[in-house]
Amino acid sequence: MIGAGTLRAERLNLGLDDPALPQPLAVVVGGRGELPLEEHLITNNQRVLVVLPEGTEGGVDDFAEVLYAPRSQETPGGSGIDLPWVLRRLRADHDVGLLLIEGGPSLNRQLVSQNLVGEIFLTISPVLVASGSESILSQGLGFSRRDLSLISVHTADDHLFLRYRIHDNT
């Protein structure tokens, strides 16, 4: 699963490396306006589901299925999507039992702030990027402290891969 901003920002693959294997469902959440699905999403005969707020028009062609979700009261002005509802629909309608969220920061922050995430994978890479936008670690928008327990550490070249279990501090 990715957010619409991440889809617009980069070209990516939400499937498995081996196209002969059954591919997971690719899920794109949110978005206003047109989504560059065919240009930015690399698929290997993979089903694509775009989740949009109820009342949204346009933005998706025949490339993907669309799920219209209720608007969330957890985001300012009710502008976001009701993510608990989306997760229930993914389980019930698409048999999704395990979900990997690739980002971006807005989607990740909403999921963490609503206690909808069980684990988080952090990658430390040898590149620093400045951004004027909110990040998953920004305060506000319902985000509060979360305690983490380290599950695993891996390295590859100059990258450090950390996997943590997230504890509900409520």
pLDDT surpasses 70 at 143: no
CATH number of the domain where residue 86 is located: 3.40.430.10
d(CA 134, CA 116) in angstroms, rounded, equals 19
- Number of structural domains found in the chain: 1
d(CA 7, CA 106) in angstroms, rounded, equals 13
- Residue range of the domain that includes 110: 2-167
In this predicted model, which residue has the larger pLDDT, 115 or 89?
89
How do residues 82-101 score in pLDDT, each as one tens digit? 999 999 999 999 999 999 99
